Structure 1
Amino acid sequence: MDNKIVYVVSDSVGETADLVVRAAMGQFPFAPDIRRVPYVEDTGTLKEVISIAKSNQALICFTLVKPDMRQYLVEEAAKEGVEAYDIIGPLIDQIETITGQVPRYEPGVVRRLDEEYFKKIEAIEFAVKYDDGRDARGILKADIVLIGISRTSKTPLSQYLAHNKRLKVANVPLVPEVDPPEELYQVAKEKCFGLKITPEKLNHIRKERLKSLGLSDGATYANINRIKEEIDHFENVVSKINCQVIDVSNKAIEETANIIVNAVQNQKMF
Structure 2
Amino acid sequence: MEHPSSTRVYVVSDSVGETGESVVRAAAMQFYPAQVEIVRVPFIQETEGIDKVLNTAQSQGGIVVFTLVVPELRQYLIEHAGKLDISYIDLLGPVMASLGNALNQEPRRQPGMIHPLDEDYFKKVEAVEFAVKYDDGRDFSGIQKADIVLVGVSRTSKTPLSMYLAHKSFKVANVPLVPEMQPPDRLYAVPKNKVIGLRIDPDKLNIIRQERLRTLGLAENATYANVERIKQELEFADKIMSKIGCVVFDVSNRAVEETASLILDYIERAR
Identify the match of residue 141 of structure 1 among 118, 141, 145.
145
SS at match of 2:118: helix
The amino acid that maps onto 1:215 is L
Q: 2:174 — aligned with what?
A: 171
Identify the match of residue 226 of structure 1 among 224, 229, 232.
229
Identify the match of residue 208 of structure 2 among 205, 229, 235.
205
Larger radius of gyration: 1
Q: Percent identity?
A: 62
Q: 1:189 — aligned with what?
A: 192
Q: 2:132 — aligned with what?
A: 128
1:183 Cα offset (Å): 1.0
Instruction: Name the Cα RMSD after superposition.
Output: 2.3
Give the gaps of 5 or more residues in structure 1.
1-95
- In structure 2, C-alpha distance between the alignment counterparts of 1:152 and 1:187, rounded to whole Å: 22
1:101 Cα offset (Å): 2.7
SS at match of 1:147: strand
1:141 Cα offset (Å): 0.3
Q: 2:163 — aligned with what?
A: 159
Q: 1:91-102 to 2 correspondence within 5 Å?
A: 101=105
4+ long deviations beyond 3 Å: none
SS at match of 2:173: strand
- In structure 2, C-alpha distance between the alignment counterparts of 1:210 and 1:103, rounded to whole Å: 50
Residue-by-residue CA offset, 1:160-218 (whole Å, 9 max, x unaligned): 0001x110000000100001011110111000000000100000000000001111100
Q: 1:3-152 to 2 correspondence within 5 Å?
A: 101=105, 114-152=118-156
- In structure 1, C-alpha distance between the alignment counterparts of 2:217 and 2:104, rounded to whole Å: 57
Q: 2:248 — aligned with what?
A: 245
Give the gaps of 5 or more residues in structure 2.
1-99
The amino acid that maps onto 2:265 is N
The amino acid that maps onto 1:234 is A
Count residues with an aligned counterpart: 166
1:267 Cα offset (Å): 1.5
- In structure 1, C-alpha distance between the alignment counterparts of 2:243 and 2:158, rounded to whole Å: 20
